[in-house]
Copies of this chain bind each other. A is one copy, B any other.
Amino acid sequence: MATLGDVAARAGVSISAVSRVLSGAPDSRVSAATRQRIVDAASELHYRPNFAGRALKSARTQVVGLVVPDITNALFTELMHGAEDEATEHGYTVLLGRSDDVRPGGEVIARLIGEGRVDGMALQVGDGVPPAGLDDLLTTQAPIVLVNSSAPGHSGSVVLDDQRGAQIATGHLLELGHERIAFANGLPRSFTAKRRHAGYKLALDGAGIKVPKQYETRAGYTVDNGRTALRRLMALTPRPTGVVVANVNAAVGLLGEARKLGIKVPEDLSVVTVHDSWTAENTWPPLTAVQMQFYAVGRTAVRSVIRRIETGETSDEVVTDPPPELVVRESTAPPHPRG
């Protein structure tokens, strides 16, 4: 790989002249002719600035880490795109990390921030993370923005409008005439589950409807959790006629289990999910869903990280624009007359 020195030699100028020209400083203070010679030499040698050299000197990598529990979760696709678009616009690169197998918060933070691999990071901690693992978050002064999650005392976060999303989903079933509306939620300790619960509750209260406590399950967000939730709900008397599922993956599992148990959707049970993704379109029946704004969250999170890096400002934001949007497909219908 060609270095600045190689380019300088070829162009017959000093290293610093080359650096000034190629690092794009607004005032490079070189004559047009010299500049041209430098640019030519660089391109002939396929010069690329060495990442380590630059990072070492400037103490900046121009990289932000994006760490989510499961990279391959379809829900994060949009979030990553948003993050990358925003990063690119600011001249940053995104380094993707996973927090699912890595030891909770600690190790990944130490590695990325502590070793200077990134200048800051957007971190979505999984629901399985014990609060203890987040200690480092607070002790470190590093530019870390939490995404769809929280840690006591940490400031700097960007979250979806979970409450509104769950409220819209619940509202949809209410409008169809359902009253026995269940809620298949995430784990009790989950940050987003609490917020989605609030939205569900708000919608029911607004309609003056009360449901048995058992109508809310808290099995979790995975496909299997969804299956579990359905089994629990169908064991209740009276059975709910509609269910709001707090996560699209759980909804897919719930639907599969309904199929297995011979419960017809939407005839016997309407299903609406918070989140949308390509999987929701390809179940049978296709799932009615509330689209959440993951793209905007990704953008906002990275913007927030960069602002924190460059100016030190912190903020806690809820992404409400654009608002969650209902996509009606075929998994919801008015309750069956004989209930």
Q: Which A residues fall within an 8 A CB radius of B?
A: 1, 46, 48-53, 55-56, 61, 71-74, 76-77, 80-81, 84, 93, 95-96, 101, 110-111, 114-117, 223, 252-253, 255-256, 259, 278-279, 281-284, 286
Contacts and interface: CB of A to CB of B under 8 A. Distances in A.
Contacts of A101: 81, 84
A255 to B, nearest CB: 8
Contact of A72 (B53, B80, B223, B256): B80
Given A52-B55, A252-B282, A256-B284, A71 B80 contact: yes
A71 B96 contact: yes
Contact of A115 (B51, B110, B278, B284): B51
28 contacts: A46-B110, A48-B114, A48-B115, A49-B115, A50-B115, A50-B116, A51-B52, A51-B115, A51-B117, A52-B52, A52-B53, A52-B56, A52-B61, A53-B56, A56-B56, A71-B71, A72-B77, A74-B74, A84-B101, A93-B111, A223-B282, A255-B282, A256-B281, A256-B284, A279-B279, A282-B283, A283-B283, A283-B284
A249 B259 CA distance: 21
Nearest to A55: B52
B51 A116 contact: yes
A56 B73 CA distance: 35
A73 B74 CA distance: 8
Interface-central residue, A49, A53, A96, A110, by most chain B CB under 10 Å: A96
A256 B61 CA distance: 46
Contacts of A117: 51
Contacts of A111: 93
